[in-house]
Amino acid sequence: MASELSNAPGDFQAHLALLERKGLLVRIDRPICKDTEIHPLMRCQFLGNYPESERRAFMFTNVHGAKGEKYDMPVVVGALAASSEIYAMGMGVPVAKLADAWIGGIANPVEPVLVDDAPCHEVVITGDELTKPGGGLDRLPIPISTPGFDAAPYLTATLCVTKDPESGIRNMGTYRAGLKARDRLGVRMASRLSGAGGYAHWLKYQKLKQPMPIAIVVGCAPVVLFTGPQKLATDQDEMAVAGGLAGRAMRVTKAKTVDLEIPADAEIVVEGLIDTDMLEPEGPFGESHGHIALEDYNMSMRVTAITMKKKPVFASVLSEVTPSESSILKKSAYEALFLQHLRHHLDIKGIRNVVMHEPLTNLRKVIFLQFAHGAQKTEVWRGLQGASTLQAQCGKIVIAVSEDIDALNTDAIFWSLAYRADPVADTQLIPHRAGGHGPKAGAGSGDSTMLIDATLKHPTSPLALPAKPFMENAQNIWNELRTQHNLPPVSMKAPWHGYDLGDWATEWQAFADNATKGDWELNGLNTFARRRAGLKPETPVRNVEKPDASKH
């Protein structure tokens, strides 16, 4: 396994060079606004009736902000998972070997090696340099993911490193972090069942009445970053799994201002301390479940240092409505983990494949299982039950099909349902399911495993795509770039822009307007004044500030 995986790039820029040699990276020298144009332009690849095989990573070399501020650092989007091919190149294996690579990497971890010669420490920013105009987080060209709805620019391609204060075990997770000030971030770590390992660490630091050290890595070897979105065992070191994926030990170094070990070859690292007493309103933000996540009380992080290479590249990922870069990041690893669970832990006979439905449903809710012809009915039902219960957030709808059915073709799935299933004999509805990952607007605390009428039943938060003016502008830019870069035309299919679905307050629109004008710091001042103690992360803000609103 190790010899097959030794081609995995050792750092992010080596990966970018490989993509460029393969014609999978497009350099854009045209002036581009990080706050209103980068993510809408990238979204055109995913919404424009554009085959996945044609998607490219984009490197923007002439980046400015909404107020005209210039950045000397390029921004790359799509370089991690614009397509399965790009993702596989980061893993150093063919697409067909991705599932085997994950199973092997998890089963054969390689412990990291500690080094002092860390490129991520070529530039170190601390003290007053973090708060002066143009300093701190202002130095980074952080895009707005969902212009028209997001309250601030957000770090999205993150690897957040924390450590259990009792055991010392490291956790690396992918959590969003929104700008609040030049030296402050709002960090969201899932607090639901099967949520974030970082949140479990936060609870332990809270009991100790100590802030939680954290290092947010932006840009590193893909095999390292790819471990972040996965749901590995809480006592399994993601850096060692990354070594297993690469077939060699990964390099780590000690952070400058917090007691953590970080990837030594990272592009950028934001170090800091997360308050375990005061929580701060965070959001709105376009989430991967396909709606805008509204304001929650989440973690407030004080930045203590920013370190980077002399010539770093800033990485961002496209999330929101699927398909997206975020969903491709999860898809191959999630499917491999589920297949391993069914085949090896539950010993399901006849299981051939696991496919998580991606477009709009975002993998977690709908799962298809492929079985060999002639598989016993008891094995099929054990597989269905196993897939629906492995993770609380996954498997709301699970459908078993025979191996002749293409589980990537929903028309074939409907054909199988129409001609191979008796709804009375072959269907089960199971109550008492956890709500999982989804919009909170109008939702209760639980769910079921069931067939469901998917029409809108209540007001909910906006669709998590850039607002219409930004997407229209992005299409104009795309058409401008077509001739210069030999890009194909895009044909947008609804839904291709975000819109209000009834649960969107005027103050959140004001936040979004401030963000696209470059005035996100005003939003940070607003939320800093509204901080509260004694709350659990992810408490909806309106349940506290406007309790009557939560009843609507």
What pLDDT digit, counting tens, does each position of 296-330 carry? 999 999 999 999 999 999 999 988 877 788 878 87
Cβ contact 41:63 at 8 Å: no
- The answer to whether residue 94 scores a pLDDT higher than 80 is yes
- The answer to whether residue 228 scores a pLDDT higher than 50 is yes
Q: d(Cα 159, Cα 175) in Å, to the nearest integer?
A: 7
Q: In the prediction, which pLDDT does 497 show?
A: 86
Q: In the prediction, which pLDDT does 39 show?
A: 94
Q: In the prediction, which pLDDT does 452 show?
A: 30
509's enclosing H/E stretch is helix 506-516
What digits encode the pLDDT tens for the residues 20-48?
999 999 999 999 999 999 999 999 988 87
Q: d(Cα 196, Cα 210) in Å, to the nearest integer?
A: 19
Q: In the prediction, which pLDDT does 323 show?
A: 78
- Which of the residue ranges 84-88, 91-95, 152-156, 360-364 would you say has the lowest mean pLDDT? 360-364
What angle, rounded to 10 degrees, do the helices at 238-246 and 98-107 form?
A: 130
Q: In the prediction, which pLDDT does 516 show?
A: 95
Q: In the prediction, which pLDDT does 166 show?
A: 94
Q: Considering the chain, what percentage of its residues have pLDDT values greater than 70?
A: 93
Q: Which residues lie below 8 Å from residue 294, measured CB to CB, with a gap of 6+?
A: 283, 284, 440, 441, 461, 503, 508, 540, 541, 542
**In terms of pLDDT, which residue wins out, 472 or 464?**
472
Q: Which residues lie below 8 Å from residue 408, measured CB to CB, with a gap of 6+?
A: 355
What digits encode the pLDDT tens for the residues 395-414?
888 988 888 888 888 888 88
Q: d(Cα 18, Cα 88) in Å, to the nearest integer?
A: 12
What digits encode the pLDDT tens for the residues 482-512?
888 988 888 786 568 888 878 999 999 999 9
Sequence-ordered strand ranges (E) for 175-267:
177-181, 184-187, 212-218, 251-254, 261-263
**In terms of pLDDT, which residue wins out, 4 or 174?**
174
Tokens, residue 93: 């294996």
Number of Cβ within 10 Å of residue 87's Cβ equals 22
SS3 of residue 370 by DSSP: strand
- Domains, the chain, in order of start with CATH, read 2-319 (2.30.110.10), 328-449 (3.40.1670.10)
Q: In the prediction, which pLDDT does 294 show?
A: 92
Cβ contact 538:438 at 8 Å: no
